[in-house]
Amino acid sequence: MDHFVEIYRHRAADYHRMVQPEDADGNLLPALERVAPLDGRRILDLGSGTGRLPLLLAGRAAQVVALDLHTGMLREHLRQRELRGGSWPLLRGDMRALPVSAGWADVVTAGWAIGHFVGWYGAEWPAQIDRVLKEMHRVVRPGGALIIVETLTTGSLVPAPPNKGLARYYHRLETTWGFSRQQIRTDYQFDNVDDAVARTEFFFGAELSAKVRANGWARLPEWSGVWGKSLQP
């Protein structure tokens, strides 16, 4: 089983504990709002996981609907939603065949999710990702917006795609699909170095843990890309 699928199925609580200190400087929300206004909008979040984007947006949007493939992630998302006192709908579904009517959403988001297809589908990844992007275009209203957030490396002081496959995917978003990129810091702020290693090693591996210890990083540097596209009305 893929490393990340194993985590998403069976270690969702550990995953949420890891991402809670992410985006220490609060750069993500302003980056999203530079793509499209979010207040009072209907937002569909794909690959929603344990709720990173819905927890950020629920107080601003008129409605948020969250979709994820993995029951374990949705179960933890439900727990986090209840802790927040929220009530947005959670759907189990595949991003390639959305159970949503055409033109329903004002904004469709997908955070740190679509890029997994590059690793999961080998040479077929462009066709599989295109299916997701076509669905995103189908369910957004004319004049709406699409926003995709992906990694530009954790544990680096310089933003860059972590591998050649993701670099090709990001290039495809920009050249074939017409998305524009922003690069932002989304650093994690942990209590101390030991806390940083304890929360992240299961996900990022021993190599990053060694780097965290060597650099004394309680604040773990991370870059994210925010790809946005506004549709013509």
Q: Is residue 25 part of a domain?
A: yes
d(C-alpha 92, C-alpha 134), whole Å: 19
Q: Is residue 201 part of a domain?
A: no
Which H or E run contains 58? none
**Structural domain of residue 152, as residue ranges?**
3-190+223-230
Q: Is residue 208 part of a domain?
A: no
Q: Is residue 217 part of a domain?
A: no
Query: How much is the pTM?
Result: 0.97
- Give me the CATH number covering residue 155: 3.40.50.150
Q: What is the pLDDT along the chain (233 residues), one digit of tens a residue?
A: 799 999 999 999 999 999 999 999 999 999 999 999 999 999 999 999 999 999 999 889 999 999 999 999 999 999 999 999 999 999 999 999 999 999 999 999 999 999 999 999 999 999 999 999 999 999 999 999 999 999 999 999 999 999 999 999 999 999 999 999 999 999 999 999 999 999 999 999 999 999 999 999 999 999 999 999 999 88
Q: How many domains are there within the chain?
A: 1
Q: Is residue 71 part of a domain?
A: yes
Q: Is residue 123 part of a domain?
A: yes
Strands (E), the chain: 42-46, 63-68, 90-92, 105-111, 140-154, 180-185, 188-189, 219-220, 222-230
Q: Is residue 83 part of a domain?
A: yes
Q: Is residue 142 part of a domain?
A: yes
% of the chain at pLDDT higher than 70: 100
